[in-house]
C-alpha cells in the first residue's frame, strides 16, 4: 500500500475529458528533445494510477492543449499494477468525419479532435508537374475513419485512402487533401428515349455532388472499361439519381459529359470528361 501511495503521490496534473467535464489526476512528462523529430513536437507521455478511468473517447485537455490518448502500458511491482503509461499526441483542431454519402445527403458529421501531420509528396504526373502533399491524420483509437471517408480539418477536406491503429493505440488515417471545388451543386441533364415516336425528352435536376481528380478515386472493372484520360473527373452522386452516358453535369467550371457510372452502394461513381 505504501508503494501504491508513493506511486500516485505526484499525480498533481489535472486532465479533463475533452467531451465532458470529467477529470482525473496524472503525471505529465516534460518535453525531451532527444525523443522527438520534426513531426512529433506535440507528442508527450502521461502516467496515471491503476484505478484511474480513462474517458471513453480518449481525448483530454491538459494545460489548455488537447491530447489524443493511445494504449495504456502498465508498470508492475510484485504482480500488481502500480502505474499506467500513455503516449499522447497533441491535437490541432476539431475535425468533421463523415462518409461521402452522408456528406452529399447533408447529414451532420461526427466531430472528433485530430492532429494533422505531413507524410510525403506524391508526383501528379497524370495531370500536371505538381507534387501534392499526402498527410497522416491522427485520431484517438475510439474513432472510425475507413477508406474513402471524408475528414474536414481547418476548412480543408481530406479523402482517406486507408487507416489503421498504430502501435501506440492512435488511429492514423492516410489522406489526400482535395482540391477545390469539391462538394458543390451540379445540374444533371438527362435524356429519355421514347420508342413510340423515336424521340428524346430532356430534363435538368440540381443535385449535390462530390468531385475529385480521377486519380483520387477510380477503379477499372474490366478491359472494356472506359480509360481515364488527363483532365477527367470522378463525380460522386447519390443513388437518388441515375446518371448515365450521354448525360451531362454542369459544374462550377463548365459542362462535363458522363462516360460511365459504377455502383458503389449508396452512391454512383461517375467518370466524367469535359463536354
E-state strands within 122-217: 133-139, 150-153, 156-165, 171-177, 183-194, 199-213
Report the distance separating Cα 218 and Cα 263, nearest Å.
12
Cα 120–122–123 angle (5° rounding)? 145
Residue-level pLDDT at 123: 77
Residue-level pLDDT at 38: 45
Q: For residues 88-111, give the mean pLDDT.
A: 96
Whether residue 160 contacts residue 136, with contact meaning beta carbons closer than 8 Å, is answered with no
Mean pLDDT, the chain, integer: 89
**Per-residue pLDDT tens over the stretch 127-142:** 777 788 899 999 999 9
**Per-residue pLDDT tens over the stretch 200-243:** 777 899 999 999 999 899 988 888 888 999 899 999 999 999 89
Residue-level pLDDT at 272: 96
Residue-level pLDDT at 8: 76
Secondary-structure class of domain 183-274 per CATH:
mainly beta
Q: Quick check: do 2-90 and 183-274 share a fold? A: yes
Q: What spatial distance separates the first Cα and last Cα of the chain, rounded to whole Å?
A: 77
Cβ-based neighbours of 15, under 8 Å, separated by 6 or more: 23, 24, 25, 26, 46, 60, 61, 62
Higher pLDDT, residue 270 or 195: 270
Q: With cut-offs at 50, 70 and 90, classify the pLDDT of residue 114.
A: very high
Q: For residues 172-196, give the mean pLDDT.
A: 90
Report long-range pairs for 165-168 (Cβ below 8 Å, ≥24 apart): 165/141, 166/70, 168/70, 168/71, 168/87, 168/89
Residue-level pLDDT at 40: 63
Question: Is domain 2-90 classified as CATH 2.40.10?
Answer: yes
Q: For residues 187-191, give the mean pLDDT.
A: 90
Residue-level pLDDT at 4: 61
Name the one residue in this structure whose C-alpha cell is 491503476. Answer: 50
Whether residue 118 contacts residue 106, with contact meaning beta carbons closer than 8 Å, is answered with no
For residue 40 the three cell numbers come to 512529433
Residue 214 half-sphere exposure, CB side, CA atoms within 13 Å? 23
Q: Classify residue 219 by its DSSP letter.
A: -
Residue-level pLDDT at 19: 97
pTM for the full predicted model: 0.88
Higher pLDDT, residue 163 or 132: 163
Cα 46–167–136 angle (5° rounding)? 95
Residue-level pLDDT at 212: 96
**Per-residue pLDDT tens over the stretch 18-54:** 999 999 999 998 766 555 554 466 788 899 999 999 9
Query: Does the pLDDT value for residue 6 go beyond 90?
Result: no
Domain ranges in the chain are: 2-90, 93-177, 183-274
For residue 31 the three cell numbers come to 518535453
Amino acid at each position: 500500500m505504501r508503494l501504491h501511495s508513493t506511486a500516485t503521490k505526484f499525480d498533481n496534473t489535472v486532465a479533463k475529458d475533452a467531451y465532458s467535464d470529467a477529470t482525473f489526476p496524472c503525471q505529465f512528462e516534460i518535453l525531451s528533445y532527444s525523443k522527438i523529430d520534426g513531426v512529433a513536437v506535440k507528442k508527450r507521455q502521461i502516467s496515471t494510477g491503476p484505478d484511474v478511468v480513462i474517458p471513453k473517447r480518449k481525448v483530454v485537455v491538459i494545460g489548455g492543449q488537447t491530447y489524443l490518448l493511445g494504449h495504456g502500458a502498465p508498470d508492475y511491482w510484485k504482480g500488481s499494477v502500480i502505474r499506467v503509461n500513455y503516449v499522447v499526441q497533441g491535437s490541432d483542431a476539431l475535425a468533421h468525419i463523415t462518409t461521402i454519402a452522408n456528406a452529399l445527403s447533408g447529414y451532420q458529421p461526427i466531430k472528433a479532435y485530430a492532429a494533422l501531420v505531413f507524410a510525403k509528396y506524391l508526383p501528379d504526373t497524370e495531370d500536371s508537374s505538381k507534387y501534392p502533399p499526402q498527410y497522416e491524420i491522427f485520431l484517438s483509437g475510439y474513432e472510425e475513419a475507413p477508406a474513402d471517408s471524408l475528414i474536414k480539418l481547418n476548412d480543408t477536406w481530406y479523402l482517406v485512402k486507408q487507416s489503421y491503429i498504430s502501435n501506440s493505440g492512435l488511429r492514423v488515417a492516410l489522406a489526400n487533401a482535395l482540391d477545390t471545388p469539391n462538394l458543390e451543386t451540379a445540374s444533371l441533364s438527362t435524356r429519355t428515349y421514347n420508342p413510340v415516336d423515336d424521340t428524346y425528352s430532356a430534363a435538368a435536376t440540381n443535385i449535390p455532388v462530390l468531385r475529385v481528380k480521377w486519380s483520387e478515386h477510380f477503379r477499372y472493372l474490366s478491359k472494356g472499361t472506359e480509360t481515364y484520360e488527363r483532365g477527367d473527373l470522378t463525380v460522386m452522386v447519390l443513388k437518388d439519381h441515375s446518371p448515365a452516358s450521354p448525360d451531362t453535369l454542369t459544374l462550377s467550371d463548365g459542362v462535363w459529359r458522363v462516360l460511365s457510372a459504377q455502383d458503389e452502394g449508396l452512391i454512383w461513381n461517375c467518370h466524367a470528361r469535359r463536354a
